[in-house]
Amino acid sequence: MHRQRITRREMLWYSVASFSGTLIPSAARADEKPSPRQQTLKRPITWRRDPRNPILPPGQAGSFDSTRCMNPWVRRVGGEYHLYYSGGDDQGRQRICLATASVDDLGVWQRHGPLFDIGPNGAFDARWCVLPHVIRMAPDRWHLYYTGNCGRGKGLSAFPGMGMAISRDGKSWGKYKDNPVLAPSGKDGDPDAVGMGGGSVLQARLPGGGSEWRFYYTGAPTIGNTVFLDQNKTVCLAVSQDGIHWTKRGAVMLRDPDRDYENIAAATPVVHQNADGSYRMWYSAIGTRWGYYSICYAESDDGIHWRRGEHYGDNLQLTPQGDGWEKQMVEYPSVIQEGDRQRLFYCGNGYGGTGIGTALSDA
């Protein structure tokens, strides 16, 4: 990725002008800095990488995931991990796939193949199905949300929406008939004017005893000739009562011009709600420091206003390292709870071109 020097004033213009007219909570605005006390992180995490990484590299030549294992989303089912991911084949097509492994041996995975196919020519998902997120909506209903690539358009404009597949048993899947369930606005100034990508869905407990489904997703507001326009991504929020019909609430987190590891983009958010009602987010950040992705962290009391730490580097959780599979980038986090620890699954070089790895937090 091309590195280009940009002034703070220019960065603020890119961040704020790109979202004019959109519902953005004031505390999330890039030009309104919370006090240091408001920014302090309460639950910082240190990760220990698994020495077996990558635990799921691309498959054999000619297979459904021969070129890429991308976008892990993991559930623990009894004594197994169910790892949903986007597998890339030799023709450059990507489909949502499933692999399983025993919790006692993350080094051995059974690959079950694609769960459904890409769409027909002209569909929003005619080229790729990526960024899976699986959630149980009811005892007999599962939703798998995913992002489509239509194979047309420049850069992020090739991602024209997010679709859904439905299952009664969590095993057999069929695409929802009215996909996509969320689409870019196409309106200049909106945080998802150009394109959009996945993140995570959760049923949020609200003050007063109510609840709502929240979709934290990636919005692409701009395209252009500089990396600050072409790769500009922001974290957005949509809400729903049924997980099908969504109302957009605008951007809740922008890139940070003061931190060179996330001064270009904040994307692919994974959000958990804690027992006390507060929230945690892991996300993929792009910055001029490495030129590619690292994994960052944020906290919130309401899921809308987010803090990233008082000091530079406070929220930087996993960075490129070494000279092997993750020397270029680390991205697309998926986090699950394991007792008093968290387990992280993530991708390495080439957006999953070297596969998927894992790390375990300190207690």
Question: Which one-letter DSSP state was computed for residue 233?
Answer: B
pLDDT band at 222 (very low <50, low <70, confident <90, very high): very high
State the pLDDT at residue 41: 95
Q: How far is CA 333 from CA 72, 123, 281, 318, in A?
A: 7, 27, 10, 10
Report the distance separating Cα 266 and Cα 294, nearest Å. 10
Residues 236-257 have a mean pLDDT of 97
SS3 351: helix
Residues 310-338 have a mean pLDDT of 97
State the pLDDT at residue 23: 43
Question: Which one-letter DSSP state was computed for residue 262?
Answer: S
State the pLDDT at residue 363: 80
Residues 87-112 have a mean pLDDT of 97
Q: Percentage of residues in the chain with pLDDT exceeding 70?
A: 90
Q: Is residue 322 part of a domain?
A: yes
State the pLDDT at residue 177: 96
State the pLDDT at residue 194: 97
Question: In this model, does residue 207 exceed pLDDT 70?
Answer: yes
State the pLDDT at residue 38: 72
What is the token pair recorded at 146? 């995913």
Length of the chain, in residues: 363
Question: In this model, does residue 127 exceed pLDDT 60?
Answer: yes
By residue range, what is the domain housing residue 292?
Answer: 8-361
pLDDT band at 34 (very low <50, low <70, confident <90, very high): low
Q: What is the pTM of this model?
A: 0.91
State the pLDDT at residue 53: 98
Give the CATH number of the domain where residue 41 resides: 2.115.10.20
Q: Is residue 284 part of a domain?
A: yes
pLDDT band at 35 (very low <50, low <70, confident <90, very high): low
Residues 240-245 have a mean pLDDT of 97
pLDDT band at 44 (very low <50, low <70, confident <90, very high): confident
SS3 95: strand
Helix residue spans in the chain (DSSP H) = 8-17, 36-39, 227-230, 349-352
What is the token pair recorded at 235? 């974290």
DSSP E strand boundaries for 169-263? 174-175, 195-205, 211-220, 234-240, 247-253
Question: In this model, does residue 21 exceed pLDDT 50?
Answer: no
Q: Is residue 303 part of a domain?
A: yes
Lowest mean pLDDT, pick from 30-34, 75-79, 240-244, 329-333? 30-34
Report the distance separating Cα 26 and Cα 12, nearest Å. 14
Amino acid at 290: W
Residues 188-202 have a mean pLDDT of 96
Report the distance separating Cα 306 and Cα 140, nearest Å. 34
DSSP E strand boundaries for 118-194? 128-138, 141-149, 161-167, 174-175
Measured in whole angstroms, the distance separating CA 124 from the mean position of its chain's CA atoms is 19
Lowest mean pLDDT, pick from 37-46, 117-126, 188-197, 240-249? 37-46
Report the distance separating Cα 312 and Cα 36, nearest Å. 12
Report the distance separating Cα 193 and Cα 186, nearest Å. 4
Question: In this model, does residue 236 exceed pLDDT 50?
Answer: yes
State the pLDDT at residue 12: 39
Rg of the chain in Å (alpha carbons)? 19
Chain-wide mean pLDDT for the chain? 91
Q: What are phi and psi of 201, to 5 degrees?
A: -120, 140
Residue 284's beta-bridge partner residues? 267, 295
Q: Is residue 1 part of a domain?
A: no
Give ∠ CA 255-350-48 in degrees, rounded to 5: 75
pLDDT band at 17 (very low <50, low <70, confident <90, very high): very low
Question: In this model, does residue 10 exceed pLDDT 90?
Answer: no
State the pLDDT at residue 316: 97
Q: Is residue 64 part of a domain?
A: yes
Residues 6+ apart with CB under 8 A from 352: 68, 69, 70, 71, 85, 86, 88, 332
User: Domain tally for the chain?
Assistant: 1
Q: Is residue 3 part of a domain?
A: no
Question: In this model, does residue 172 exceed pLDDT 70?
Answer: yes
State the pLDDT at residue 33: 56
